[in-house]
């Protein structure tokens, strides 16, 4: 019996279950959900607010587990993901599936009972959308996978908002739009300098299917509506000057970086400095934008 | 009854299994205690004891 065969018979470590939840993705989900919750008008008891954020975090963890369960074979082909618990043989797939379904059912159930059923319904739909529509349907079949799939990552601030107000108005839809329109430039910048990896796994990312020129055009093109959505809350009178000025400044920097990506003709990952800069800045952009929006709204309130 | 197809575990492997089981049990215990406290607090908030 090989060592690998014996390893699979060992019970997985708790760290492997933790890794299944994609903690880094979860942290961004928790952050945007918290900003949506803090920006919403009205009052929510801190215990209920904590429960809402916990349920959103567990729902995100369920998405990560179900995604890794389904993509174990694909993950094994990419250097970036080959050391995850399933492709590395530290856990059997059935355990990951049960863990994901358990987390999903638990998070939606508690959200419904403790917070409200609208936020529970949105959470359930976002888990379904990420696990089924994105992971199983879109990702392996279309280079537009992350455009529509980005909707799954855009739900957390809406769920956070709905947890407080019990409804969904224009402002949470705008928060949704910001993340939805931010996702293509963010992921395609990564896909440009990680092209070889995605190609090896047979995932039809835009650079592999349509080429780098089309990808760079799309990145630059999506940046304009994204910047518009980011600035719109200020012009609608839903935020103060602090958010208004900083959102314009940050969006301006994003546009400049996206323009440099659009200008770049490099085909070698080593020469893709603008793409790497845009990817790094895009994370900072979303973090600052949402933090300032929540702070600004709290100051106004 | 069908026997498992793997060979018996060595002493080292058995010790590793026990260690992993103990660690998982501790995490599960902490999580369950945390949830008990959370459900208690949710109940208190819902019935309006704290206004």
In a domain, residue B45? The reply is: yes
Q: Residue A2 has what pLDDT? A: 41
Q: Which of A5, A10, A48 sits opposite B20 (nearest CB)?
A: A10
Chain B residues with CB within 8 Å of chain A CB: 6-7, 13, 16-17, 20-21, 23-24, 27, 38, 41-42, 44-46, 50
Q: Which residue has the tokens 């976002």?
A: A126
* pLDDT at position A79 over 90: no
Mean pLDDT value of segment A135-159: 90
In a domain, residue B16? The reply is: yes
Q: Which of B21, B38, B50 sits opposite A11 (nearest CB)?
A: B21
Q: Which of B17, B23, B41 sits opposite A14 (nearest CB)?
A: B23
Helix, strand, coil shares of chain A, percent, nearest 5, are 80, 0, 20
* pLDDT at position A165 over 90: yes
Query: A260: buried, middle or exposed (CB in 10 Å: 19+, 13-18, 0-12)?
Result: middle
Kindly report, residue by residue over A171-230, the tens digit of the pLDDT: 999 999 999 999 999 999 988 887 667 777 888 888 888 999 999 999 999 999 999 999
In a domain, residue B4? The reply is: no
In a domain, residue B30? The reply is: yes
- What residues in B contact A50, CB-CB < 8 Å? 38
Q: How far is it, in rounded angstroms, from Cα B20 to Cα B17?
A: 5
Weakest-pLDDT range from A137-151, A154-168, B21-35: A137-151
Detail the DSSP E strand segments found in chain B: none
Domain encompassing residue B21: 12-51
Domain count, chain B: 1
Q: How far is it, in rounded angstroms, from Cα A135 to Cα A131?
A: 5
Nearest to residue A120, comparing CAs of A103, A108, A102, A104?
A108
Contact of A106 with chain B, judged by CB distance below 8 Å, is answered with no
- What residues in B contact A1, CB-CB < 8 Å? 6-7
Chain A residue with CA closest to B50: the answer is: A45
Q: Residue A199 has what pLDDT? A: 73
* pLDDT at position B7 over 80: no
Contacts of A180 (CB under 8 A, 6+ apart): A150, A151, A154
The CATH fold of domain A13-168: Tetracycline Repressor; domain 2 (1.10.357)
Kindly report, residue by residue over A19-73, the tens digit of the pLDDT: 999 999 899 899 999 999 999 999 999 999 999 999 999 999 999 999 999 999 9
Delimit the domains of chain A by residue range.
13-168, 169-301
ipTM given for this complex:
0.81
Give this prediction's pTM: 0.90
Contact check, Cβ <8 Å, B7/A1: yes
């Amino acid at each position: 019996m090989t060592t690998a065969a014996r390893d699979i018979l060992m019970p997985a470590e708790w760290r492997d279950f933790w890794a299944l939840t994609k903690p880094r993705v979860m942290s961004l989900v928790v952050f945007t959900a918290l900003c949506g919750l803090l920006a919403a008008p009205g009052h929510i008891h801190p215990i209920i607010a904590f429960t809402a954020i916990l349920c959103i975090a567990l729902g995100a963890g369920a998405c990560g587990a179900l995604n890794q369960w389904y993509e174990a074979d694909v993950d094994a082909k990419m250097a970036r993901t080959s050391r995850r618990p399933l492709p590395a043989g530290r856990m059997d797939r059935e355990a990951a599936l049960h863990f994901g379904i358990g987390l999903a059912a638990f998070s939606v159930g508690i959200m419904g009972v403790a917070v409200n059923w609208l936020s529970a319904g949105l959470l359930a739909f976002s888990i379904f959308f990420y696990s089924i529509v994105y992971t199983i349907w879109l990702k392996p079949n279309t280079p537009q996978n992350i455009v529509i799939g980005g909707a799954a990552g855009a739900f957390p601030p809406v769920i956070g908002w709905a947890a407080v107000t019990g409804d969904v108005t224009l402002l949470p839809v705008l928060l949704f739009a910001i993340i939805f329109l931010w996702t293509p430039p963010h992921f395609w910048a990564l896909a440009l300098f990680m092209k070889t990896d995605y190609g090896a796994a047979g995932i039809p990312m835009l650079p592999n299917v349509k080429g780098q020129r089309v990808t760079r055009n799309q990145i630059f093109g999506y940046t304009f509506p994204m910047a518009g959505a980011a600035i719109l809350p200020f012009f609608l009178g839903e935020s103060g000057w602090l958010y208004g000025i900083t959102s314009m400044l940050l969006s301006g920097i994003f546009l400049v970086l996206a323009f440099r990506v659009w200008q770049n003709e490099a085909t070698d990952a080593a020469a893709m400095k603008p793409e790497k800069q845009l990817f790094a800045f895009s994370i900072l952009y979303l973090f600052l934008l949402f933090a300032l929006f929540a702070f600004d709204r709290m100051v106004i309130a | 009854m069908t026997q498992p197809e793997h060979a018996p575990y060595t002493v080292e492997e058995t010790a590793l299994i026990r260690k992993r089981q103990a660690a998982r049990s501790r995490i599960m215990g902490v999580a369950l205690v945390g949830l008990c406290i959370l459900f208690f607090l949710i109940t208190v908030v819902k019935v309006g004891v704290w206004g």
